[in-house]
Each structure stands twice: as structure tokens, then as C-alpha cells.
Structure 1
Amino acid sequence: MNRAVVLVVVVILLSALVVSLAGAWLSRGELEQQATKQVETMARLVASELDDKLALRLETLSHVAESFTMDEAVLGARARILIRQQTALQHLFDGLYLIDAEGRVLSEYPEAFQQVGVNVSHRDYFQDASRFLTPVISQPFVSSYQDQPAVMVAAPVFDHRQKFIGIIGGALRLGGETFMQEFANTRIGETGYLGVATRSGVTLAHGRTGAVMVPVRVENPVLTAAMEGFEGTRQTQNGNGDKTIMSVQQMDQVPWFVAAVWPAREAYAPITRMADGFVWTLLAVIAVIAPVALLTFRRLMAPLTTLGQQINERHLGIRTAPVQVAGGREIGQVAEIFNTVMDERDEVLGSLADREAFFRSLTQSAPIGIVQSDVLGRIEFVNPAFECLIGRPGSELQHTHLMSGVYEADQAEVIRGWRQALKNHEVFRGRFRIPSQGERELIWADVMTAVIDTPDKTLGSITVVRDISHQLEVEEALREEQQRAESILGVLQEGVLMVDVEGRIRYANQAACQFLGTGGDCVQQNFFNLVTIRDGDTPLGHQAFLTGANVDSLYATLDNRSGERFDIDLTMLHVRQGRHNERMVFVIRDDSERRREEERLSWEATHDSLTQLLNRRAFSASLVKCLAAVPQQSVSSVLMLIDLDHFKPVNDEGGHLLGDDLLKRLAALFADTVRKADTVARLGGDEFGIILPGCGLERAQTLAEAIRAGVQALRIQQDGRDFGVTASIGLTELSPNDSGPREVMARADEGSYIAKSRGRNAVVVVPVPEDEQPPSA
């Protein structure tokens, strides 16, 4: 009873402790979520505001650059006045610079920087803005004025003919009291801070250390992931080794990211105080409740001692009357249940003899062999079916050991299995050979032995024996047929597998498992979870195959869980369709080689083998599509024909290999000069064509001049001689009234002939005839 009292008290204490711990754990989880959301919100707000400020500066600077449409000489003469007039930019940037096309600073504001005349052509922001001709925000750099860290926002400046004549740049200092530091000085709680860095690993602002232009701490895995594009919130450690909550938000305007950091010690301070309160409250409850529970429980459980004594006397036979105990209702119920159990036990023992007689009469007519043995394994009874099975009468088997009837070669394994079953309190099951004096000297038997137990003792065992010799012969024949079929399927290159209605694989050869990417055996796995099959862009799932008809030679793609993709020829057959044991048989053939051959032939039919550019047939098809889209275009499309000058002497004097090399270099020059969306083709010999959709004639002329200059500058040396060519280029706009590609090609060809007649190495624009011009609005 004392142990029960202690147990109840311990349970009460443990329950209180579990409730307290659960409350603290749930509160901590809620607090962690709130802290995480707060850090995420701060990072998102700061990143958004910083994006807005950079977007405002970039947009304002681009607008000012667009207003500087003047001659390059005028830009140089008025540079100082133009910079001093940009009041709006002066408020947005820490410094303004006007730089000519060669990278020389023409003017600055404030003039105290003394950067006029300095050449900045080596700076990344100048090279990017002059190369791509678009506004840029530079990577952080150390300026030549007092070695201050800064970021440059630059926009290209064009003259009236859209020629690049320079850039206007606005510098943003990273040190000191700048708008970047205003963000960094923002606090999360009392000790949380913000940081801004580039994906290339340079710190722009740090709210804890104030560091600028130092490498990002790559020891922090969250910062390393942020440089690779990660966004989100994780727990990590700062440079001092303190645990922190860090939220990363990538910026849209530039490849930067904002990191909001809140020390976990401060974020979780409320839950620490709450946990201390829980502990003290629990100790107070224990001090009051434990003594009261101990005294009350001892008083309530006292009648159990009397009950235990009466039960023991009834079990030993000293007491014959039912047990009677005064006490609570629960103890009275225990006494009543015990009395009822004892009465039922007496009834069971009284009917045991009747049951045994019934068992023996039942086994006499059973069709399978039944053997009863005592606790030592000696046979006490066998039925006629078992006598017939082994060809011996029951009188000869009486008192012989049960294991003596097992074939000698199988006895060791059977004894091992029997002992294991007894140890685990299980029914022994086995298949082994039994000597017989009947038609067969040895028969294979399926044997099941169970121990006969009563509440008081073990009475022996009952064994059921079934002859399975014929069954095993049939199974062996079926197994040989199955092995033969699997051997045939195993050497096939095609994947063959069978799945049930739930998609579980029932059979698959090795080739099928390779398609599925499982590496080894894929049986019992779900086929439709391992692969994704698509007919074109349409995925074919479990229901599509299950409810659809048979599939014969479907060309599809198969993606497996290893990330491999196969072009396949798929066949699927239903077996026992509509029944509960329906199966689907899939045959998968690798169709990649045939498709690659089709792609190769298609590519060769549309491309020039020497230059890898489109050929004349593919170029004509593209021109037809472009002509069809002309009525819907707001900016005109342009056709450019390029006819090389003096190419025949290169072939005659340098050789055809030199001529081929020159053509390949020119093809690369044309493709690199124009846009990705433009169409470049070799029309034959030394003639090339370029389609510039939605380009506009003015821009097309600029590209043509760049190509002409590039062709003229391209020289190849061989045997101490320089070889090169020039280009006669014809341009014409595509008109909605053009009847077809021949008419447009004729106008552009006319331009190249005119260029040759004027001395070659020129660009000539052939306008659309007046009667073909579209009517003005």
C-alpha cells in the first residue's frame, strides 16, 4: 500500500510537471512565431523602402539623362552649368558627375571633390553603362576622393541621333550620415539591428558594428545562403557567438539583400520569466498537495489489506466462503468480481472432462492429421488421418517422442524453430519432411503446433499435419516457368512492369527499374510516385491510365525521381479490366536516339553547316512570319542584306580554308552585334541577311554601321599577309503593303548594289515606295 501511495503522489507530481512544461513549450512556440514574424516584417519593410529610394534615384537620373540630347561638343562646353542646374539630383545624391564618352569627368557637384579631368573609364559603372547603354547601379567601390566607399547610379546620355556621348552619374556614400546608415541604425527591440550587403559578399551597412566595405562573414550559413538568393528566416549565431533570429529579404532593384537580426536572448526573454514563474508555482503546489494526498490515499486504501488476506485464504483452500470486505464501492466491486471468477473457475474445471471427450470424437473424423502430446513431447493421441498419412497405427506411436517422427536431416532446424516459438509464446509453423510407410518414403508436411495452456499449468501440445507433397510439386513447376519468363524479360532492353489498381508495382524487370531511377529493386513501390509521364505538355497520371483504353506506341517523356528524363515509346495493356484484381502492364522503350536523329536532320535542314547560321530557306520562312506581324507593330521592322566586298581574292590568294575561317568569324560578329530576337542567316556564298523585328529604321542604321565597321576591322593574318573584306549593306523597312518576301528582298538587295556602285563599304537605306506607305493617322 505504501508503494501505491508513493506511486499516486509521483503521478500527481509528474502530471503537474508535464502540464507546466507543456504550457511553457506552447508559450515558447507562440513567442517564437511572433518574434520570427516581427523580424521578417522589419526585413521586408526595410528592403522595400530601400528599393523605393534606389528606384526613385535611378528613375530621376534617367529622366535627366534623357533631357541632355545635345551635341557632344555642346555637352562638354555646358557641362558645369548642366550639373549645377540639377537641384533635384543634388538633394538625392551625395555627388553628381558628368562624364564624356571616353570616361573623362567634365564637371562635378560639389566642386570640392576635385574630380574634373579624372579618367574613370576603368570603373565598372562606366563600362556597363557605355556597353549596354542602359541605366545601372554599380557594385560598391572605393572612390578616389578621400578613399570613401560609395555606390554610383549612372545613366547613358545620347545626342539627337541616339549616339552615346557620355554618362551622368550620382554617387551615394556608404560611410557617415547617409540614407544607407539611416536604415542600419534602425533597431529591433533594444539590441536587434539591420544590415545590408551585396550578393557578391560586400557589406554596405551594419547596424551592430558600423562596418562598411568589408567581406560578408561567410562562416554564417544564413549569409552564405543569402548570397546565393535565399530569402527567409532562420536561427543562427552572430559574430560574438550569440544565438540570433535572422531574416533575409532580397532586393528587386539591385543584387543586394537586407538582413534583420534579433538576439534570441532578448526575443525569448518573456518566456524565460514565464518559465521561472511556472517552476515556483509548481513547487508551491507540491508543498501543499503532496502531504494531503498521502494522508487521504492511505486512509482510502486501508481495506485492501484485508481483501488481500481473504483472497489468499480462498486461493489456498483455507476459506470456502466468498470474500467480504467493508470499504469503498470500488473495493466492494473488486471483491464481487473475484467471487464471480472463482465460481466460473469451478464450473470450467467441472466441464473439462466433457470437453476432452468432445475433442477426441471430433478429431476422429477430421480430414487432416492431428497429434496430441504431453509436456515432454510424448505422443498421447493421433487421429486416423495421421495414421493413414504415415502408414503406421496409433498403437505403435503411443509414448514415442514427437520429434522422432521428423526426417533426420530436418530435425535440427525444426527443433530450433520450435524453441524460438516457445520463447516468443507463438504458434510453431513449419514445412519439413516426415518418413512414411505408405506410397511415399518421405512426404512433405505443413505442420502447425500450439501449446495447450490453462491458467495453472501447461498440459501439452496439439499438432496439425497436412500433406503438401503434391502442392509443392505444382509450386516448383510454376516457379520454374516464372523463372524462365523472368530470365527472358531480364535480358530485354525494354522496361516491363506490372502495377495494380493502386499503382503499386507487382513486377518489374531490371530495365524498368533503371527507367524509374530506383537503382535496385522497385517492386512494391508506387509507380506513379516514382515517375511523371507527359504526352507533350499534358501529364498522364494514375487515373488517366486506369480509366483509359489500352495505349499502343505513345511517344512521351518520362521524368523519374532521380531527375533523369527519357524520351520513350510507351505501351500499356489492361489485364482483367474492371475487376478487383485488375493489373496494368507497361512496356517502356527508350526513344531518345530516334528523336535525336530527327532533331539533327531538322537542324541540318534549316542551318548553314559552315557558319551555323540559318540557311536561305529558314530565313525566308522567318521573313514571311515577320511580314504577317507588320500590321500589328507600332515600331517598324527592318531587313538588312550584307554583301561582302573583295571576298573572292581572299579565297583565291589565301585559300578556301582561310575563306571559310573568315566567313565563320563574320557570322559570329553579326550574331553578337544584333539582338537575341533578331534573325541572322547566310543566304549563300558571301551574302548574309538579318531580320530586325520592331527595331525601327534609325536603330537599324546604327546596327548596320556597327556591323560595317566591325567587318572592316576584322583582319586575318596568314604567311605574313593581312586578309580582310568590307561590306556593302542594304536596309529597307517592311511594309504592310509588301506582297511577299521577294519584294522586300529586292529593295534591300538594291541598297547593297547602290553601296557597291558608290565604292563599296557603305550602308544604303532603300525607302518603301510612296504608293506603298501606310496612310497617316
Structure 2
Amino acid sequence: MLIKRWLGSLVNRAVALVVVVIVLSALLVTVAGALLSRAELEQQARSQVETIAELVAGELNDKLVLRLETLSHVARSLTMSIHALDARARLLVRRQTALQHLFDGIYLINESGQVLAEYPESFQQTGLNVSDREYFRRVASTLTPVISEPYISNYQDKPAVMVATPVFDHRQRFVGMIGGAILLDGDNFMKEFINLRIGETGYLGVATRSGVTVAHGRSGRPMAPVRVANPVLRDAMEGFEGTLQTRNGEGEATIMSVRQLTQVPWFVSAVWPSREAYAPITRTADAFIWVLLLVIVLIAPIALWRFRRLMAPLEMLGNQIRERHLGMRSDPVDVSGGTEIRQVAEIFNTVMDERDEVLVSLAEREAFFRSLTQSAPIGIVQTDVLGRIEFANPAFEAIIGRPSEDLTQTWLAGRVHEADRDAAIAGWKHAIRNQSVFRGRFRLAPREPDRLIWGDVMTAPIQTPEKALGTVTVVRDISHELEVEEALRDEQQRAETLLGVLQEGVLMVDTEGAIRYANDAACRFLGAEGECLLRNFFQLVTIKDHDRELTRQEFLTGEDLGSLYVTLLNTASETFDIDLTLLHIRRGLEDERLVFVLRDDSDRRRQEERLSWEATHDSLTQLLNRRAFNAALVRCMGEAGRQEVRSVLMLIDLDHFKPVNDEGGHLLGDELLRRLADLFKESVRQSDTVARLGGDEFGIILPACGLARAEALAEKIRANVEDLRIEHDGRSFGVTTCIGLTELAPDDSSPRESMGRADEGCYLAKSRGRNAVVVVPSPPAG
């Protein structure tokens, strides 16, 4: 209340305005400067964090590459038989001086996963079986060097990473692996990265894309799960690189830069708290606030004194105006002062002269109003401020059915039907109180009680600056219009009821795509049940004709569609096979519409897909059949001339399968075939082709595999099949395989040639006592 009274003075308001202007101007300059400075600081901070992240990622890549290449070089020097490797393991490990400087631990492991030797021997891992370790399984299956995921080692349960590479004998058979362990909390190069700092509180982190922390400069704890609640870290696990603003685990704003490693699926994150990065801006803002307070303390008293002197003539003018209004003064007001104050005095004198002229003209205007409304085709009624009728034109008399003399000085609300009277009175009062126009539809009360008249009523107040004088009400008879609207609504309701029970989706959109009508079936297709109207149809769905997406422009400019089979994907990620019909309504006009009819075509398409699958697959094993295998073989032969590494064809013929069927029954034979099919699929790559060619014969196409790797894979398959046994009625059943291998040569004129060579290998294997792998070389290029 005290502040309101103080601001009642123009002088005080002017002083307050000066202070506010100073503050706002200073704040504007400060904010602009702060934003520019912050932008510059932010760019510098981002560049610094990006540079550190990039340098650390590059250095970490280089160190991992050095260790991987050194380990691979050592592995190539260990080419020897399994027995020699086992006998000389300890001596071989002790000689690896280069590896001893690069790794915290060195291990030589045989092909079954047993540790043959280690360095240092104080780790006491010799004899331990590590076949269940992820790095051993990857090396044994891929026969390539790997850098493992972080794991808990057997040495004092310390977290570590294993760099491992396979060891082969002179026949390129896998005989074991040599691995170097890097302890994540050891005194090695990882510790150097973690001890790096950005500013005073910034830090570095290294994590895998699978969500495991390799090293963390803030917590120092490896093997912790990555905080996936942080969107930047979550995106980094998907391969993101870049620099963004985010928050750390304590909710503190930070600048984070992420760089992916090229040698392993790891990423480096450099984090610098924004509080430290933008500290200079905060110090500048604090200093400015103190300077601003000092300026306000000095300026406010001076402005108050000056404004009081400027406003003295205005106070004199106010006294003269009050005297003129009360009749105590007949002369025009006259004061000295600034130009603005003298202008106010002149305007006041002019207004007083004009007021007298206005009062004279009011009577003339009222007469003009009455003559104008006499010929108006709609009812016009004038009331006083209480709502009593002062004037009604002939049109209103005709609507009500009463003459003007019966209406004058009666209540206008009395001419409204009793059921609508309260609402009419409330709207009429609201119009006067808020100086607004009130509009509504009401039933009127004519002379004939059995006659119903609906009126479209609009009431506006007659207002002067001082007070309300009454109202003017316009009444239009809309009884016939409402009857027509009711008939149209009935027709529309019948149409919507019919469309609502249809299974087909029916919707109508305008040229921008806004949905003007949609039945329930259409809303289900759009994935927006009950929320279709006025939403954009082309934003809710994607419609594809085969692999081509149909656009809004194509629908607008194209012809009507009688039946088009398309695929519809909605925003709820639901996919429908649709038989689409399109009709154009009022084409080329402003109110052009498109009508879509959507019919679910999923059953027919699923039937076609099932028949297509059955035509190319074996129903028992779910593998490709002979026809699909031959087609894949033809494609692979067509690419043989462009490949640096030859593709290989493998034919597999089962030994002793007939006794399984005869003694165990056909059901047991079928089960064995299914298990063998699963074994073949699990043994090869995803790019390889596996098929059942008929009976107990299978075929595998190995694109760009090379004969040496294919032979090793064939030996592995032969051994796994030999180990596969099925127990039935107390007996054990199994089979062996004869496997024929041959390379696909560019000179092969047809699949029959390469199939013949592989088949020849199967016959040679059978002649050599079965359960064998035979390679038939391709003919030399002629």
C-alpha cells in the first residue's frame, strides 16, 4: 500500500523510470557482453576439450596398435606343433622381453584353453583353464587377433584387458594363443591417461560401447557400468563423436567431448565442468553489480530534485481544471511551463468547447437513428440501462407480433421464452458491465403461444466515457435456417453411422493434409484412435509402393486410384498391408478434398510370403533347398572373377544315416537332421549359404573364404558332427561326415563343374574309410 501511494506521484514515477532505464540499459549491455564473452569462452573450452579428447584417443589407439602388432609378430615366430609348443612354453614366454615391457602379464595358452606358461610367474595362472573367457572364444572362433572386453582377472580379482592373437602350426592349424594382459588399475599407460586433468577439476574417461568403464579419471574405478542416464554417453555407445553440453552424475553442468577409438569398440570422453570453464564471466558479473548499485545511489536523489521542479506547472494546471469543472472558473485555463504542459492546457480548452457542440448534435443523431431503423429488414430494439424498451422498429414488431405502443416501457427480457430468459439476462448484463458485444440464440415469446420463433440476438451497449446509457439489440428470425440445419445434421448422422460400422478406413483430407473426417477404422490404421480430426494425414503415416515412398504432391497431382497395393507405417510403428483407393473431390477448387479408402490386405500378402518361403526352403531343417542353393551358387560364381580371395564350395554327405532311420525310427532321423542343420548354421558366417540338397546331403557356399580357412572350418564341422549324439531308448545314435571341398574358379562354365569336383571329394573321402575331409583343387586357368 505504501509503495502504491508513493508511485501515485508523477515525480516519483519519473525517478523510478530513470532508475529502471539505467538498470535495464546496464543489464542489456552486460547481458550482450556476457553472451558474447560466454560464446567465446564456450568455443575456447569446447576446442580445448575436443583437442584433449582427440589427442588421448589417438595416443590410446597408437599404444594399443603397438601392443597388438608386437604380439602378432611374436605369434608368427611361434609357428610349431602342439607338442613343441607345450614343451617349450615356459622358455618361449621368458624370452619375450619386448612383451614384458608392454604388458603387465604374458600368457601362452594351448588350443583347449589351458595356460601353458606365464610371465611373471608370481601371477600363478599356469595350468588354469580359460576356455570360458570371452577373449579365448573369440580368438578360437575367428582365428584373428583381438582386444578383449574388460574382465575380472584371476590374479587378485583385478580388472584387466587381454590383447590376444592365435598361434598356428606349420599346417596353419590353430594350436593355441599368446596373450598380453593390461591391468586397468596397474602402473601402466592407462594410469597416465587417467591422471590427466583439464583445468583443475576436468577429467578423462574411457569406456566400451557395450557400457563398461575401462578407466575413469574422477572415480578411479574401472569395470563400473556406464551412466546411460547421460544422453551423450548413451549416444557414444552407439558410435557418436562430438562435443555437447551435459550434466555429470552429481547434476553439475559440464562440457563433454567424445572420440571413438579405431582399434577397439571403445570411446574416450573428456569432461570439463562449466562452472570452471566460465568462471571469468561470473567474476565480471559480480563486479558490474557493485558498480551499478553505486550509480543508482548517486543518480536517484539528483533526478528526484530535478523532476519536482519540472512538475510544478503541472500541479497548477490541475487546480485550474478542477475549478473549471466545478463551475468556479469561467475563463480558459492558462499556465506557464514546458511546451507539453501548455499543449495540455490548450487541448483542455478545446475539449470543453467541443463538448457543448456535441450535446447539441446528440438530439439530431437520435432522430437520424430512429428514421434509419424504420426501414431495416431485421429487428432493432433500443433499451435504457435497466433493460426497458424505449424504441422498437417495425421488423421487431413483426417478429414478436405486437405493435410498438405495446412494447414501449416493457422489459426486453420479457420477450424471451421463459426457458432461455435467465441466460439472456446474464448475457445482457455482461455486455453492459464489460462494454462488450453479447451474441446468442434464444427462443422468443410471440403473441401466439403455440408458435416457436428462434432469434439470432446481438446486444451492444450505448456507452459514453462517463456512464452507460442503455443498449441496442439486433434480432434476426432464424427459425427456418435452424430447420434446414437440423435436416442436414440428420443426414450427416446417418452417413457417419454407416461409415462407422465399415471395416474399411474412410477419411477425407484437404490439400494440406489436415483430416476433415475419419471413421473409427481409419483412426485405427493411423494409430491415433479418437484423435484423428485436424491432424495431418501425411505426417501420421508413411505410404510406400514397394520401396518408393509416395508423397503428398503425388496424391494431389495424380489420377484417382482404384486399387493400389501399398504398405502403410503409422507413428505408433505399426505396419499394415493396404489396398488403397483414392478419389479427388472438387479438384482444382479452393475447397478441394482427397478421399482415401484403406482396406487391410495383410492376409493375402502373408499367404504370398508363405508360398514364396516354402518354394525356397526345406520344411524339415528350415535351410535353403536345392533350387535356392543353385541360384546362390550361380550368383557367387558370377562374382568369382572380382574377388581377391577365392570362394569355396563344401558338400557334406552323412555316413551311416540309414541305420539311424531303420533302428531309431524316422522321427529320430528327422530330429538328427534338424540338429545337424543347427550345427552347420552355427559353424559358419552370416554371409555364408547353408542348404539341404536332399536326403542326407548338405551344401555350404563360403564367399571369399580361401581354401585354407575353409579346410580348417570343414575339419571343425567334421569333428563336431562326430561328437553329436542322440540318446533314444537307452541307445546312442550318431553319424559321421564325408566332406568335399573345392574352390570356385572363374573358368567354371556352370555350377555343375564345381558341384562335380566337390562331389568327387565326398566319394574320395568315402573310399578312404569315411569321416574325412578331401580337397579337390580347381583346374588351372587355361
Q: TM over 0.5: same fold? A: yes
CA distance in 1, matches of 2:407, 2:684: 102
- Deviation, 1:736, is 2.9
Is residue 620 from structure 1 mapped to residue 630 from structure 2 by the alignment?
Answer: yes
Going from structure 1 to structure 2, the CA distance change for 1:615 and 1:217 (only over 3 Å counts) comes to closer
**1:326 aligned onto 2:336:** yes
**1:9 pairs with 2:15:** yes
Q: 2 CA distance for matches of 1:523 and 1:146?
A: 66
Give the equivalent residue in structure 1 for 2:605: 595
**Structure 1 residues 644 and 220: CA distance shift in structure 2, 3 A:** closer
**Residue 606 of structure 1 pairs with residue 616 of structure 2:** yes
Q: Point out the more displaced range, 639-648 or 375-384.
A: 639-648
Matching residue of 2:777: 767
Distance 1:503 1:315, change over 3 A: farther
Aligned match of 1:188 in 198, 202, 210? 198
Contact 2:147 2:161 in 1 (8 A): yes
**1:292 Cα deviation after fit:** 1.3
Q: Does 1:683 align with 2:693?
A: yes
Give the Å deviation of 1:661: 0.5
- Per-residue CA deviation, residues 25-74 of structure 1 (Å, 9 max, x unaligned), is 55265345654554454334323432332233224433443454443344
Taking the aligned partners of 2:395 and 2:92, their CA distance within structure 1 comes to 118
SS of alignment partner, residue 639 of structure 2: helix
Residue 667 of structure 1 corresponds to 677
Work out whether residues 226 and 248 of structure 1, in 8 Å CA contact, stay in contact via their aligned partners in 2. Answer: no
1:512 corresponds in structure 2 to 522
Is the deviation greater in 740-749 or in 21-30? 21-30
**SS of residue matched to 1:134:** coil
Could you tell me which of 710, 714, 719 is aligned with 1:704? 714
Q: CA deviation at 1:667?
A: 0.8
Q: Equivalent residue for 1:260?
A: 270
1:149 to partner: Cα distance: 4.4
Larger deviation, residues 276-285 vs 330-339:
330-339
Residues 734 and 216 from structure 1, CA distance in 2 versus in 1: closer, same or farther, beyond 3 angstroms?
Answer: closer
Question: Which residue matches 1:476?
Answer: 486
Q: Is the 8 A contact 1:505 1:523 kept in 2?
A: yes
Instruction: Rate the CA distance shift 1:610–1:113 in 2: closer, same or farther, 3 A.
Output: closer
Moved more, 160-169 or 243-252: 243-252
C-alpha displacement of 1:675: 1.7
Tell me the secondary structure at the aligned position of residue 745 of structure 1: helix
Pair 128,693 (structure 1): closer, same or farther in 2 beyond 3 Å: closer
SS in 1 for 2:387: coil
Kindly provide the CA deviation profile for residues 494-550 of structure 1, in whole angstroms up to 9, marking residues without a partner as x: 221111122221111122222222232321122222222222333223323223332
**1:583 deviation in Å?**
1.3
* CA positional deviation for 1:341: 3.2
Aligned 8 A contact 1:608 1:615 in 2: yes
Matches within 5 A, 1:11-30: 11-22=17-28, 25=31, 27=34, 29-30=38-39
Distance 1:708 1:593 in 2: 43
1:501-580 map, 5 Å: 501-580=511-590
CA distance in 2, matches of 1:33, 1:333: 56
Give the secondary structure class of the aligned counterpart of 1:610: coil
1:715-726 equivalent positions in 2, closer than 5 A? 715-726=725-736
Give structure 1 stretches of 5+ with no counterpart: none
- Cα shift at 1:371: 1.2
The question of whether the paired residues in 1 share the 8 Å contact of 2:15 and 2:307 is answered with: no
**Structure 2: gaps of 5 or more residues:** 1-6
Answer yes or no: is 1:215 the counterpart of 2:221. no
Q: What secondary structure sits across from 2:9 in the alignment? A: helix
1:361 and 1:367 mapped to 2: Cα distance?
13
Q: Which residue among 231, 236, 239 is the counterpart of 2:247?
A: 236
Distance change (3 Å), C-alpha of 1:617 and 1:220: closer
Q: What is the CA distance between 1:216 and its match in structure 2?
A: 5.0
Q: 1:287 aligns with which of 294, 297, 318?
A: 297
Aligned-partner Cα distance in 2 for 1:549–1:316: 81
Q: Which aligned pairs between 1:366-381 and structure 2 lie closer than 5 A?
A: 366-381=376-391
Give the residue type in structure 2 aligned to 1:171.
Answer: A
User: Which position in structure 2 is the counterpart of 1:653?
Assistant: 663
1:238-275 Cα offsets, whole Å, 9 max, x none, are 67x87655555554433444343434543343223212
Corresponding residue for residue 491 of structure 1: 501
Deviations 1:166-200 (A, max 9, x none): 21222223335421111111111123222334466
CA distance, structure 2, for counterparts of residue 557 and residue 415 of structure 1: 58
- What residue identity is the alignment partner of 1:391? G
Q: What value does the CA root-mean-square deviation take over the aligned residues? A: 3.0
- Residue 608 of structure 1: how far off its partner (Å): 1.0
Opposite residue 573 of structure 1, the aligned amino acid is L
Report whether the alignment pairs 1:733 with 2:743. Answer: yes
Displacement of 1:461 in angstroms is 1.1
The alpha carbon displacement at 1:305 in A equals 0.6
- Whichever residue aligns with residue 643 of structure 1, its letter is D
Q: Whole-Å Cα distance in 2 between the matches of residues 220 and 374 of structure 1? A: 69
Separation (CA, whole Å) in 2 of partners of 1:680 and 1:214:
39
Give the percent of matched residue pairs that are identical in Structure 1 and Structure 2: 66
- After superposition, the C-alpha distances for 1:192-225 in whole angstroms (9 at most, x for unaligned) are 222334466655434345x344635869857984
- 8 Å CA contact 2:431, 2:459 repeated in 1: no
How far apart are the structure 2 equivalents of 1:673 and 1:177?
41
Given residue 173 of structure 2, which amino acid in structure 1 is its aligned partner? K
Contact 1:149 1:212 in 2 (8 A): no
- Give the counterpart letter for 1:10 in structure 2: A
TM-score by length of 2: 0.91
Report the equivalent of 1:166: 176
Which range moves more in the overlay, 140-149 or 341-350? 140-149
Cα distance between partner residues in 2 of 1:449 and 1:147? 88
Q: Is residue 630–residue 736 contact of structure 1 (8 Å, CA) maintained in 2?
A: yes
Q: 1:372 to 1:313 in 2, by over 3 A?
A: same
Show the counterpart of 1:345.
355
Distance apart, 1:730 and its partner CA: 2.4
The number of equivalent residue pairs is 770
CA distance 1:146–1:393, shift in 2 (3 Å) = closer
